[in-house]
Structure 1
Amino acid sequence: MTRSFKDNLGHGGYGSVFKGNLKDGRLVAVKVLNNAKGGNGDEFINEVASIGRTCHVNVVTLLGFCSEGANRALVYEFMSKGSLEKFIFSDNLGNRQHVLDCQKLFQIAVGIARGLEYLHRGCSTRIVHFDIKPHNILLDDDFCPKISDFGLAKLCPQQQSTLSMLDARGTIGYTAPEVFCRSIGGVSHKSDVYSYGMMVLEMIGGRKNIDAEAEKTSEIYFPHWVYKHIEPKESLALLGFQSEAEEDIGRKMVLVGLWCIQTNPTNRPSMTKVVEMLEGCLGSLEMPPKPYLCSP
């Protein structure tokens, strides 16, 4: 299928991803887990069990898997544009590798929100992803976003509001504060909402949410920086918007992102509400409280 793993699409702590072809001509991405990451196979089983229950235009499709002894692989639909990460962050020269206009970023944000809403509400068993970030959002030919990488996902019955967790999980910068500090609140689907909000702010800002190389201390944590500029209804032209229409889209995404990263999980909207906020009018969005805690 992969012509002896000839075409490597990328690799990480989990293993490597290779491009492949099915007999019917369809392109696939084959994710081969390394033995160390696989361990006793918990993450592999987790990914198969969770994503195997899904069917949504904004969730990547699992086509099959392999499990032979220590050899484990997952076969996914091929996403030609790769991850969202390379379309929103600047390189070392200050340029984005690929430029997406504000309208396209907005459509991607709405698509991801719909995918998360489906995971939280549309499945027979609620799925909390726990690792929403630009790297785990894949784009197809038409830049339709699909949520991927369910290795850290957790299944929970629809009637259960909070999750019991023995370990903190996620990626630094995107992990909701209650995941590592349980006194803040219960871990639930609202933890994904936090990660989503942080990612939306990065999409608008074109930079990581924490920039240790920022010239001013006040600019290090992007949510604080953007809050300072949006609160007095200042122009967001600093973020590079070219027109009033683009600025309205950007302001809407910023407000939604700031609501999503509220420290107290009960103050964050559900993903259903997030979709409503994004698709509604800008004038109906209230100013959220200033975010005051970020993940370590």
Structure 2
Amino acid sequence: MTSPQEPHPQGPQEPGPQQPGPPSGPQGPFQGGPAPDAPYGDPRYGAQHGGPQHGAPQYGGAQYGGAPAGGAPQGQYGPGGGGPHGGPPQGPYGPYAQPPAPKKGKGGLIALVVGGVVLLLLLMVGGVVAFVLTRGGGAALPGGELEGVRFYGELSKDHVEPGETVDYDGNLPPVGGDHYPTWQDCGVYDAPLRAEFGVHSLEHGAVWIGYDPALPESDVQALADLYSPGDYLLISPMEGVETQLVASAWEVQLPLDGVDDPRLPRFLAEYTQGERTPEPGAPCSGGYAGSAADFEAGQ
């Protein structure tokens, strides 16, 4: 004689023959479910509760990386699904993390070294070109030095009493030093000048061309043609010059080979009222207009 079965303490009645029971093993929160520490995607959980209401949409469904019918995971993160609970994909560097940037190789260092070598070569070539232009054949770049130019250090600008003779160390024409309070008027002279007047003109920015008295008349005329009224230029014969003619400015001097020397016009352009002038813009007229003989004669 049969009797009604007792209610099962953990769920519904045990299935009959036509309703197979759950697999054996540890019991989870649901009869026949996974063990407590099993992931929500456990096949047994999906098989037991994977219907539309419980399994597929929430834990085993496509939107969390599960398979619609227990197949390979297909989700919004592609094959393989997300993390253990349907979260973002888990890569070797953690969620959302980017792989480390590749280390720079030696290419950057090599490029830097090559660039430095090229720059050094360019500087060397530029230096050679500048040297050739400055030194070769008497040519010079604007502001550059001419071949044969002599430079002198700081020279005195003091005034001395008229009639006193100043020693200019044999420089003819002088290049600076003590001088008379009055300057020599700029222009062309056919007789030697008193040096102490001429030096004062150099202080105002004039260039003084002293030439050998034996210079041919045609060359003397060529020098005279260099002057125009108002120019800061003195031209006069001078005993004892080392070459046919010598050009002097304040603290600068250039011996020349003749009136056709190509360095002469460059010297005039460079040093007339040049950067070495102690008193640029001071007058070169209205001073003394006589020769050395005139001064000696008291004129």
TM category, shorter: under 0.3
Compute the TM-score of the two structures, normalised by the length of structure 1.
0.23
Compute the TM-score of the two structures, normalised by the length of structure 2.
0.23
Higher percent of residues as helix: 1
Larger Rg, first or second structure (1 or 2): 2
Higher relative contact order (CA 8 A, sep 6+): 1
